[in-house]
Structure 1
């Protein structure tokens, strides 16, 4: 009788060990598959102003449209300023700028804010052309820069700005934002594509 009980218990224990082993193997396999998919996964960035979704991976390149829109937003942040909105832009600057260049750029913006408060002028930028080089994480934006005092336009000039970004994992941060002389602009030296020739 005892032998039958011991045999039954051994069979029950054997079944339980087999079930636990199968569940453990399935768990290990599932975790390994999840780790591989996470390591190779692309992030899909949904931006309301983009007509399509874009992908950024930690190891791959940067989508051309995403880089252009990021440059557009940074340009808006830097070049559309009034004495009243300057502090808002300075606070948001830290979110998109490389820590190494943040203090230098912020100092320039503080000087600009003080000048705007003294002269009571506002600045508006109207972009009309972008040159995007995703391989170098570089964008040039060309447009009209307008300075006004109240409702009176003080100055309007055509201006080009170069933006350089750094990629850290799947995040882009602004490394530099500088005016570019017309003869130094990379966009004017870029070859014309067939698409551009047809327009």
Structure 2
């Protein structure tokens, strides 16, 4: 009787061992196939004519070069506008918006659109300098903001803007922007 119980127990253990061996062999084959597919994949690099160097994106954080390029493009889209393209302008900025800040950004942009719609006022911004802080996810842009009515320049002022960003996963998104006071360089020169 003990021999029957012992034999039955050995057969159960043998079946479990064989099942474990088959599962291990299957996983080993899957690992070899996945490794070979990963090793033979072509590397893809996205080339943009406006980017002078290769950029990489990682989950470790935002690279300063990447933040600078995104800030440059966002500032130019945000600060160059005319009444004819206001809907497109607002849509493009909202595509960059962080989902958490989307509502507040949209409210700010709707105010600007309401003020400018139906007028002949156009804005053009020329960037003079830019500073980026990849750790703090902020960037500042300084330049000249020209305001036109028709073809005539009615104002040309130095302005400074701060952009705040969020970085989740691999997506850099606009969290907010604000105009800052211009730094007085004449006091610093003394």
Q: Report TM bin, short chain.
A: 0.7 to 0.9
Q: 1:28 aligns with which of 28, 31, 34?
A: 31
Superposed displacement of residue 25, structure 1: 1.9
Contact 1:129 1:143 in 2 (8 A): yes
Aligned to 2:107: 107
Where does the alignment leave 5 or more consecutive residues of structure 1 unmatched? 1-17, 38-42, 190-199
Contact 2:94 2:105 in 1 (8 A): no
Aligned to 2:140: 140
CA RMSD of aligned residues (A): 3.0
Change (3 A) 1:45 1:164: farther
State how far apart, in whole Å, the 2-side matches of 1:74 and 1:64 are: 15
State how far apart, in whole Å, the 2-side matches of 1:21 and 1:169 are: 33
Aligned to 1:160: 160
Superposed displacement of residue 29, structure 1: 4.4
Q: Deviations over 1:133-188 (max 9, x none)?
A: 1111111000000110011111110000001110011110011111111249xxxx
State how far apart, in whole Å, the 1-side matches of 2:49 and 2:172 are: 18
State how far apart, in whole Å, the 1-side matches of 2:167 and 2:24 are: 44
Which TM-score applies when normalising by structure 1?
A: 0.70
Aligned length: 160
Superposed displacement of residue 93, structure 1: 2.1
